[in-house]
Amino acid sequence: MSTVLYITAHPHDHQTSYSMAVGNEFIEAYREAHPDDEVIRLDLFKLDIPHIDADVFSGWGKLASGSSFDQLSDDEKAKVGRLGEIVDQYVAADKYVFVSPMWNFSFPPILKAYIDAVCVAGKSFKYTEQGIIGLLTDKKAIHIQASGGVYSEGPAAGFESGHSYLAKIMQFHGVPSFDGIFVEGMAAKPDQAQSIKEAAIEKAKEAAKTF
């Protein structure tokens, strides 16, 4: 049995959002194809994800210097402890499904906060004399991204900074399999928006069977 983190970064649900609509169809098809797997839904807009701030840095610094967790301030305990829970859940999972819109060529900032929470030395990667090595070499991931224009290819491809950044993070973590499903061009071609979504849904359903 595998554990799947279904990680969504959109304030709207599948009835309003293109990315969430395709993501919902993907995860339902996945459940049907893999009935014994556990799917954990993480709505990042509803989760407590501490930003890395002065309290976090000071808490980490104290722990690195030999202080116990009980010696941290209340704010340090709350933030450092919560970040630890997030990365431990991430590392323990087997598969990751990221769902996000493109906002200003990237993804919503809440997804960046989540990525910051799971990029932890000794957990998802490690430093060695030979360089940085990713530790999640037995995982796989997929990213479903929606955008009003077309950015996966063509003249605007150089502006795309969401999926490409997530691909770098997966490589950084050592994840050997990372794919993308793009729902794009709805604003550029509003008369084709429904057919674009339907085509992406069909692709998502097929991808879910072998994910």
> In angstroms, what is the C-alpha Rg of the chain?
18
Residue 102 annotated as part of some ligand binding site: yes
Residue 60 annotated as part of some ligand binding site: no
pTM greater than 0.85 (yes/no) = yes
Instruction: Check residue 131 and give its pLDDT.
Output: 95
Give me the average pLDDT of each 10-residue run along the chain (211 residues): 97 96 98 98 98 97 96 97 98 98 98 98 96 97 98 96 98 98 96 96 98 97
Residue 70's alpha-carbon distances to 44, 54, 85, 94, 209, in angstroms, are: 28, 18, 16, 32, 46
pLDDT tens, residue by residue, 88-140: 999 999 999 999 999 999 999 999 999 999 999 999 999 999 999 999 999 99
Tell me how far apart the alpha carbons of residues 177 and 2 are, in angstroms, rounded to a whole number: 15
118, 153 contact by CB (below 8 A): no
Q: What architecture is the 14-37+94-209 domain classified under in CATH?
A: 3-Layer(aba) Sandwich (3.40)
Residue 100 annotated as part of some ligand binding site: no
Residue 170 annotated as part of some ligand binding site: no
Instruction: Check residue 39 and give its pLDDT.
Output: 98
Residue 19 annotated as part of some ligand binding site: yes
Residue 18 annotated as part of some ligand binding site: yes
Query: Where do the structural domains in the chain lie, given as residue ranges?
Result: 14-37+94-209
